[in-house]
Amino acid sequence: MTRTLVVVGHGMVGHRLVEALRERDADGTWRIVVLGEESRPAYDRVALSSYLDGKSAEDLSLVDHELLDDPMVDLRLGIGATGIDRAARTVSTSDGAELRYDALVLATGSRPFVPPVPGHDLDGCFVYRTIEDLDAIRAAATEGEPGVVIGGGLLGLEAANALRLLGMRAHVVEMAPRLMPLQVDEGGGQVLGRLVGDLGLTVHCGAATKSIDGEGRVRGVTLADGTVIDTDVVVFSAGVRPRDELAEPTGLARADRGGFLVDASCRTSDENIWAIGECAAVEGRCYGLVAPGYSMAEGVAEQLLALGEGTFPGADLSTKLKLLGVDVASFGDAHAQTDGALEVVYANNAAGTYAKLVLSDDARILLGGVLVGDATAYSVLRPLIDRELPAPPEQLLLPAGSGVDAGALPADATVCSCNNVSKEDITSAIAGQGLTDVPGIKACTKAGTSCGSCVPMLKNLLAECGVTASKALCEHFPQSRAELFEIVQATGIGSFSELIGRHGSGHGCDICKPAVASILASLGHGHILDGEQAGLQDTNDRFLANMQRNGTYSVVPRVPGGEITPEKLIVLGEVAKDFGLYTKITGGQRIDLFGARVEQLPLIWRRLVDAGFESGHAYGKALRTVKSCVGNDWCRYGVQDSVSMAIRLELRYRGLRAPHKIKAGVSGCARECAEARGKDFGVIATDKGWNLYVGGNGGFTPRHADLLAADLDDERLIRIIDRFLMFYVRTADRLQRTSAWLEALDGGLDHLREVVVEDSLGIAGELEAAMHRHVENYADEWAGVLADPGKLARFVSFVNAPDAPDPTIRFVQERGQIRPGPVTLPMPAIPNQEVLT
C-alpha cells in the first residue's frame, strides 16, 4: 500500500532526500508531497555567486523534467508549513490546505543571522541567501561605489565577490582577527587577507560594527573603532540560524543552540518525524555544510524503505573552494586541537601560498591541514585524514601536492565526501562498468557531481586502474589533433601524404583525412579542393554544399548578421524560382535553398556570386553564422549596435576552419533575442560595452555559455575573440565542440580566462597574428571553384555522362514548394558514379 511522505522544505538537502527515495523506491512505497517556500524548485545554493557571473537561475536548478513529471512526487512551490498536528499526523500549509502524512521530514534549512546593530533594517541592507536576494543586491548596486559586507567567513567572501562582480568597491568587516576564522588558521588567514587585498577588497579584521547609518536608507557604516565607511549597500553575511520555528508550537524538542533535536538516525522526539540539513541538531549539533545534509538525506531514505539503519555517520567538515580566484581549503583538525598535535608549515610568501599539515604526536598520522593560494593537493590529502602518512610530511607539502598520487589512498578512503563515495566504490565501477572517463564515473557513482573538488582525483584513479585515454587521432597517427596541428604549423608540411609519411603510417582513413584537411585549411594551405586536398574532404566539403537525404544539395549564401538588401532578396528568389529549389529561412537568420543537383551547383553559385553573395560555409567545420537582433538602431531596449558588431564578426571569421562548426550570436541587450548564450561564442550588450560568453551550444546536450570577460569595448572584444578562437582551433580534439573542449580543458574556464584574457602563457600576440593571417588571406571558396576549370569538372553526377541528371532524384509538391519524394533505387545516388548501360 502506498504511504504518504511530506517533506517541508525544497532546498538542496530536501531535494536530495526526494532523489534518494525515488532512486531506491522501485515498488512505489511512498508518495511524496514537497512544500517549498520559494517560488522556484531547488537550486545550487553553493554556487549562488555564479548567478552574478553569467549563470541563470535555470543553470543553477537541481531539478530535471523527469522528477517534475514523476507521478509519485507532488512539488508545491511558494507554499510553506504553518503548523503540525502530531496526533492527527497532519501538516497545515500557508495556502490553507491540510496534508495527512505517514512520515514527515523537516528540511527547513536556515535563515541568515542579522546582528541587531542600530540601522540593520534600513533600506539598502540585504542578506545573501536566495536568488531573489541577489536580484535585490544587483538592483541596488552602483558601479564604482563602495559596498560593505558584514562578516568575513566563507559566505561573507562570497558576498564580497558578488559586489565586486557588480563593479562595486567591496569592504569586508570581520570581528575575528582574520578572514574565514572557522576554516583557516592565523598563518593562512594572513596570506588570504593579502591575496584578496591585492584583488581590490578592503579588509577590516578585528572590527565590530557599531551602527548602520542613515535615515530611511543606508548612508554609511560606523565601526567600533570610529572608522566610517560611506556606502548605500550593506550585505549581512554573519552566519545562519536553523529554521526551527515549528518546534515549540508542535512540542518537538530543540537543541540548546537551536535546531530540531534529533538522534543519530535524524529522528526527532516524535518517531514519525525526521529533520535533516541545517535545521537538524544531530545529538545537539547543527551542521552548516551541504555534505552532512546529503548524508542525512541518504540515511533517512534508507530508513523509510527499511533498507538499513541509516545512521548519520558524522560530518566531514572539510572545505575546498575558490574565493575571488583564490584557492582555500581546510580539512580535518585544521586548528590542531588534538592533544599533542604537531604542525608542519610550508609558506611561500613570494608565490602567495600557504600549506599546513596537522600530524599526530609521533608525526605518523595525518589529522588535518590548511591550504591557501594553491589547494590542488587537497584531493589527495583530505582522504588521508586519520591515516598513516604515505610519504614524509615535507614531500606531501610539495607545491601542488606533487609528492603523492592516487596510489597513496587506501581502498576505503572517502574520495567524494559530498556523496560519500570511497576510492573502492570508484575503482570497482571503473573495472566493473568499463568506465573510461570522468563523466562516466560521475554518472555511475555521483562522485564529483556536487562541489567538484574531487574531480582531479577521479582522473588519477582512472590512471591507477590502468585506463589511459589514448590521444591518438586514429590508427594511422599516434598524435592527437592538437599535436598534429603543432607539427604542421612548425614544419610547414602542406599535404596529407607528406604528413602521414613523416609522422604516421598506412594510407589514412575517414577520420584522419578530414581532420588533417581541416588543419591544412586552418593554416592557409590553399583552396580545400586544390590537388590532393580535394580527396581528403567529407562529402559536404568536397562539393561545398550540404548533401540532403535524396542526394540533392542545399545552398546557403552568407548573409552577415542577417542583414540583407531588397535587391539581394530578389536575386535569391529568382535563383530559387529558376532552379526549382525549396526555400527555407534557417534558425541562424540565413536563407537555405534546397534541392540542387550536383551539376547545378556551379550555375547557382555563378548567379549568387555575381549578385555579391559568397559561401556561407554551411557545409564546413567552420564559422557558420553570427546571429543578431536589430540592436539599438530599431529596438527601444537596445543599448549597443548589435547588427554592426555581428556583421563585423562574421566577416572577420568567415571561412575559419576549426575542429567543429562554430556558431555565434550578438544581442543588443540582456533580453537576449539573438540567443547568444546558446552559441560557441556569444556577445551581449551592456551600457558599458559588451559581455563575452563562450562554450555554449544547442543540439543533443544544450549548454549555456560561460562569461569570459565583461564590459569590453569593441577592439578589446575582437582581440579576445581572436585569441579564443585560435586557441580552440589549435588545441581542441577532432570534432570537439567548444562546449566539450571547455569542459575538458584542464583548469576549465579559469584557465581559459588566464590564457586568452590575461595572457598567462604569453601567446596572445601569436594567436592574434594567426587570426590576422586568416583575415588577410580569406577567399570565397565558391568563387575559387568558378575560376578554375579543373575544380568545375568535379561537379557532375556521372563521370562518363556529365550532362545527365541523376534519375533517382524525385520530388513531390507540398505547400507550394518541392520536397524529396520516393526514390527508385534503394539508396540515394553517389556523386560522380558511372552510368551503367
| Backbone phi, psi, residue 692, to 5° | -110, 125
CB 39 within 8 A of CB 77: yes
Judging by DSSP bridges, how do beta strands 353-359 and 342-348 pair with one another? Answer: antiparallel
- Which of 281, 313, 290, 264 has the alpha carbon at shortest distance from 418? 290
CA neighbor of 231 nearest in space, from 173, 170, 156, 179: 170
The sheet with strand 623-628 has its strands ordered as 623-628, 662-667, 681-686, 689-694, 706-712
State phi, psi for 592 to the nearest 5 degrees: -110, 130
- Per DSSP, the three-state class of 837 is coil
Q: Which residues contact 470 (CB under 8 A, 6 or more apart)?
A: none
Which cell is 555 given? 545552398
Name all contacts of 529-537 with Cβ < 8 Å and 24+ positions apart.
529/781, 529/784, 529/785, 529/791, 529/794, 531/495, 532/495, 532/496, 532/497, 533/495, 533/496, 534/791, 534/794, 536/496, 537/513
- Residue whose cell numbers read 562554450: 695
Reading the block at residue 443, the C-alpha cell is 554518472
Q: How far is CA 2 from CA 30, 102, 274, 300, in A?
A: 6, 10, 19, 18
Give the SS3 label for residue 822. Answer: coil
Nearest-angstrom CA–CA distance, 717 and 644: 14
| Residue 673 counted as an annotated binding residue | yes
How do 553-555 and 591-596 pair as beta strands?
Answer: antiparallel
Q: Would the annotation count 266 as a binding residue?
A: no
Q: Is 720 helix (H, G, I), strand (E, B) or coil?
A: helix
Query: What residue spans of 110-185 are helical by DSSP H?
Result: 131-140, 154-165
For residue 380, give Cα distances in angstroms to 1, 409, 450, 455: 47, 7, 18, 11
Pairing mode of beta strands 234-236, 146-150: parallel
First-to-last CA distance in the chain?
A: 74
- Calpha distance 67→18 (Å, rounded): 9
CA distance 687 to 668: 10
* 3-state secondary structure at position 168: coil
Q: Are 522 and 657 in contact, with CB atoms under 8 Å apart?
A: yes
Is 416 labelled as part of a ligand binding site?
no
Bridge partners of 666, per DSSP, are 628, 683
Which of 267, 575, 250, 294 shows the shortest CA–CA distance to 449?
A: 294
629 labeled binding residue: yes
Query: What are 473's three cell numbers?
Result: 587521432
* Contacts (Cβ under 8 Å, ≥6 apart) of 324: 157, 160, 161, 164, 195, 196, 199, 201
DSSP assignment, residue 316?
-
Q: Are 21 and 62 in contact (CB under 8 A)?
A: no
Asked whether the beta carbons of 451 and 463 are under 8 A apart, the reply is: no
Among residues 790, 804, 836, which one has the least CA distance to residue 598?
Answer: 804
Quick check: helix, strand or coil at residue 224?
A: coil
Strand residue runs (E) in 37-168:
73-77, 81-85, 90-93, 98-100, 103-106, 110-112, 125-127, 146-150
Cα distance between residue 680 and residue 736, in whole Å: 11
Binding-site entries for [4Fe-4S] cluster = 629, 635, 669, 673
Binding-site entries for siroheme = 673
Binding-site entries = 629, 635, 669, 673
